[in-house]
Amino acid sequence: METKTDTTMRVRNSGRPAAAEDANGKVSILMVDDTPENLIALEAVLADLGQKLVKATSGQEALRMLLREEFAVILLDVNMPGMNGFETAALIRQRKHTEHVPIIFVSAISTTDTHLFKGYSLGAVDYIFTPVNAEVLRSKVTVFVELVKKSEAVRRQAEQLRVANEILRTEVATRKKAEEALKESNEELEAFSYSVSHDLRAPVRTMQGFARVLIEDYGDKLDASARDYLERIVAGACRMDSLIQDLLVYSRLGHTELSLGPISLKQLVQEIVRQISPEVEALKGEISVAEDLPEVIANKMALGQALENLIGNGMKFVADGKTPHIRIEAQTIGRIVRLWIIDNGIGIPEEHHARIFRVFERLHTSEKYPGTGIGLAIVRKGIERMNGQVGIESTPGEGSRFYIDLPAAVAAPAG
């Protein structure tokens, strides 16, 4: 006979038994009886449940099976030779991984209260006497089968949730790390751009100034080729200064705090039109402004820079012999104001609409259409820093319609 010590040692040395529910969704039911006929009878009663029925003919065999497999419920005969049902139940309750397995005693011996109390004192959930009522037994066993199935479903869901949460935590940590690295890289790049641009501007302006002095003071002593070279130096220095100045503006927009507040588009546009009127008159251009321009939430300096760049582009990118015309109007959609800057210029193919807002992106040579290639990048960054966005609708030869979306200072009425 296997002793209690031997059985306990075997439990400690074995791994966790297989789950009560298998891959086909069936749970295991353990039937323990030393009489084969009784096992056959129990099997016939429980076959309709469609679960896995496991038979053991002794307490020792039942304990061995419990080492290998988990069971939803144990039907345990009381009167067995060697190790009876009560002794078997006591050992089952001593094992950590089987201490909570439901046990139903099935007995043909005395129905006195003494046996009932002993069974329940050993942790049995029920005590049934033979002959067994088939419907009652099936009903009782079904309760524990369903309980195991629901527990397994909850366990699987909890495991899936744990895995999903772990994946999410990993993704969030990875993304946060990448965002921090990108932010640090951008800050370093912007600081570098600001430093380089600021330090470069002084020598470029010095070169430009001395070249102009040479032309003005010694131009009559130079031949045509020498004067041409000096004029090219001045022009190149001017272009370099414009480029550095635009880089400084772009860099400042990246790391300078922008205070936002209500801005009157009507007043701001009027100020800009007055400021650039000499350039507009020189090009014989025309700017018309709608009367009903609303207020937006923005930064006056950044928005003014963006509008000046867009209007300047509209004046500059026109076909030869064509008089530039700019139309500025707006519409309020809910809490968003869309400001339109409409020109009659050369237009931009659709495949280049996103590209033109990137730094140093040019669709034409600087000889044909002067510029630094940074103006629209400044517009995009400035507008995005003000919680807005910029876009374009354009067809080659038919002009362009640039738009700026910004939060409205006052939302449009519903309806």
268-319 residue pLDDT tens: 999 888 888 888 888 888 888 898 899 999 988 888 888 888 888 888 878 7
Residues recorded for the chain: 415
Which are the contacts of 192, defined by CB distance < 8 A and separation ≥ 6?
none
pTM of the model: 0.46
Q: Which single residue is written with the structure tokens 């000096």? A: 230
Q: What burial class does residue 90 get, using C-beta atoms within 10 Å of its C-beta: 0-12 exposed, 13-18 middle, 19+ buried?
A: middle
* Segment 387-413 mean pLDDT: 84
Q: What is the rounded CA–CA span in Å between residue 389 and residue 372?
A: 22
Angle between helices 36-46 and 134-218 (to 10 degrees): 60
Residue 42 and residue 49: Cα distance in Å, rounded?
12
Confidence of residue 111 (pLDDT cuts 50, 70, 90): low
Q: What's the mean pLDDT in 175-204?
A: 76
Q: Where in the chain is the domain with CATH 1.10.287?
A: 180-255
- 266-288 b/e (C-beta count within 10 Å ≥ 16 → b): bebbeebbeebeeebeeeebebe
Q: Which CATH superfamily is domain 261-407 in?
A: Histidine kinase-like ATPase, C-terminal domain (3.30.565.10)
Pick the CATH number of 180-255 from 1.10.3470, 3.40.390, 1.10.287, 1.20.120: 1.10.287
Residue 337's pLDDT is 92
Long-range contacts of 152-157 (CB under 8 A, 24+ apart): 152/19, 152/20, 152/21, 152/27
Q: Higher confidence at residue 250 or residue 129?
A: 129
Burial bucket for residue 154 (CB in 10 Å: 0-12, 13-18, 19+):
exposed
From the candidate CATH numbers 1.10.540.10, 3.40.50.2300, 3.30.1330.10, 3.40.50.150, the one assigned to the domain spanning 4-132: 3.40.50.2300
Question: Burial level of 81, CB count in 10 A (0-12/13-18/19+)?
Answer: exposed
pLDDT at residue 340 in the model:
92
Q: What is the pLDDT of residues 41-71, one digit of tens each?
A: 999 999 989 999 999 999 999 999 998 888 9
| Chain region(s) in the chain for CATH 3.40.50.2300 | 4-132
